Structure 1
Amino acid sequence: MISEQERNRYKRQIMLFGESGQEQLKTATIFIAGAGGLGSPIAIYLAVAGVGRIVLVDKDSVELTNLNRQILHFNRDIGERKTVSASVKLREINPDISIEAIDITIDETNVLDLIGDADGIVDALDNFPTRYLLNKAAYIKEIPFFHGGIRGLCGQATTILPGKTACLACTFPHPPPVEVFPVVGVTPGFIGMVQATEVIKYLTGTGELLLNRLLHWDGERSTVDEIRLEKNPRCHVCGKGDVMGAVDQQDHGWIQ
């Protein structure tokens, strides 16, 4: 049950979700991989929405070059572990929720234990190998995977329900080249809020999710397009093989 303090804190959104929806948020655990450009707005907005337990995993320290986009970290935090910096801010933002910040590199030996009993996995990363690992973990755990990616002024997002929608490997069967790519802070802000919205909708049963739809944001033109996705029956993760997926590298480009 939500307390009177929580009823007041979340009064305006309870008008939309009802107290039952707010209770769904309160009892949920969401796993966020990454406390950087995408992870910052995602964690902030899930915290203020009242998601009861947020597990935030990152291995990096705050650098000056992070500060144009990673809004959980301040100038005073340079040199601090991102998990420490982020957890301090998130607990100040909402002391009524639980923040579990873990300073570790996600790999095949720990990914399932780190995710634990989470109700969903949020992709706030900038590399595809770990994204693929989380995609497989979501399939094993049978929980949703909320993907987001950015590059420059462009970004993308989709929501994956294992067994029901195209998975990340269906959509992107081959990773993009590893490189340092440009990014402006407003782009992860936009895409991160889309991902956080998807999580909130999923937990409360509100609205229509980005299922088998890849939202593409073009900040240069201020346009939002939608690419339809199809589950690949021969996908090596959720199907029986490995063939080219729904999104072609040449046609649509790659977003990290």
Structure 2
Amino acid sequence: MDASNPTGTEPGLPGLSDGDRAAADWQLAVAGFGEEGQRRLKGASVLVSRIGGLGGMVAFHLAAAGIGRLVLAHGGDIRPGDLNRQLLMTHDRIGTPRMDSAVERLKALNPRLEIVAERANVSDANAARLVAQADLVVDCAPLFAERYALNRAAMAARKPMVEAAVFDLEFHLTTFVPGETGCLRCLYPETNPAWTRRFPVLGAVPGVAGSLAAL
């Protein structure tokens, strides 16, 4: 063992407070994760594009797990039709910004969490700036214009991107790692003209997909 690092953990990782340890008690016991894994999580920053039914579940699980910082991007106000799947939104907040409700719920879950809130959807205008603030990108946008913009920025910054999508009773998950895999445009060279903003989805499907994407 290195005498200068008697714990054997990676130097430079943030320490855990008593509150951190209490909140993470059950997952600290997971083999291969432990305190170093928790410290890595606390020191990490993740960008989640859209925090509706899919991205909201990703953000929820990362916040509960003890992620240090979330960079969230989502515009618009809460509508009644959101509530079958967007679990960070509530009926009493209909008509108010989605981001405000999401930040409030996530901070209530984990008051130690740092949140960077972008009250707009990802576009070519903001993608590079948002990606620069994160170690990992999770794409949960419903439209390909947003997905392509985020993918370009992630590839340019050499940041890995988890791609998550839902439709009807189906979901799709994949990960793009610059220098090791192809990219989103490689997988989907063209936008499917049948894909529109409004599509069928059972509320629990993005919950399942978002939980897996958070892993």
Structure 2-normalised TM-score? 0.89
> 8 Å contact 1:41–1:189 — kept in the other structure?
yes
Alignment of 1:93-172 (within 5 A): 93-172=109-188
One-letter identity of the residue aligned with 2:54: L
Q: Secondary structure at the match of 1:162?
A: coil
Structure 2 partner of 1:15: 29
The counterpart of 2:61, out of the listed 45, 51, 65, is 45
Instruction: Provide the rounded CA distance (Å) in 2 between the counterparts of 1:159 and 1:113.
Output: 21
One-letter identity of the residue aligned with 2:131: I
Structure 2 partner of 1:185: 203
Q: Secondary structure at the match of 2:29?
A: helix
Using the TM superposition, name which of 18-27 and 105-114 deviates more: 105-114
Task: State the identity as a percent.
Answer: 36
Structure 1 partner of 2:47: 31
> 8 Å contact 1:34–1:56 — kept in the other structure?
yes
Cα offset, 1:172, TM superposition: 1.0
Instruction: Provide the rounded CA distance (Å) in 2 between the counterparts of 1:104 and 1:196.
Output: 22
Instruction: Provide the rounded CA distance (Å) in 2 between the counterparts of 1:84 and 1:119.
Output: 24
Q: Secondary structure at the match of 1:67?
A: helix
Cα distance change, pair 105–41 in 1 and its aligned pair in 2 (3 A): closer
> 8 Å contact 1:25–1:51 — kept in the other structure?
yes
Structure 2 partner of 1:250: none
One-letter identity of the residue aligned with 1:152: D
Q: Secondary structure at the match of 2:122?
A: coil
Aligned residues: 197
Unaligned runs of 5+ in 2: 1-14
> 8 Å contact 2:77–2:96 — kept in the other structure?
yes
One-letter identity of the residue aligned with 2:191: P
Cα offset, 1:105, TM superposition: 3.3
Q: Secondary structure at the match of 1:156?
A: strand
Using the TM superposition, name which of 105-114 and 138-147 deviates more: 105-114
Residue deviations 1:173-217, cap 9 Å, x none?
1112242210111110111111101xxxxxxxxxxxxxxxxxxxx
Structure 2 partner of 1:67: 83
One-letter identity of the residue aligned with 1:7: R
Q: Secondary structure at the match of 2:116?
A: strand
Structure 1-normalised TM-score? 0.75
> 8 Å contact 1:87–1:100 — kept in the other structure?
no
Structure 1 partner of 2:4: none
Q: Secondary structure at the match of 1:5?
A: helix
One-letter identity of the residue aligned with 2:17: S
Unaligned runs of 5+ in 1: 198-256
Structure 1 segments (4+ residues) deviating >4 Å: none
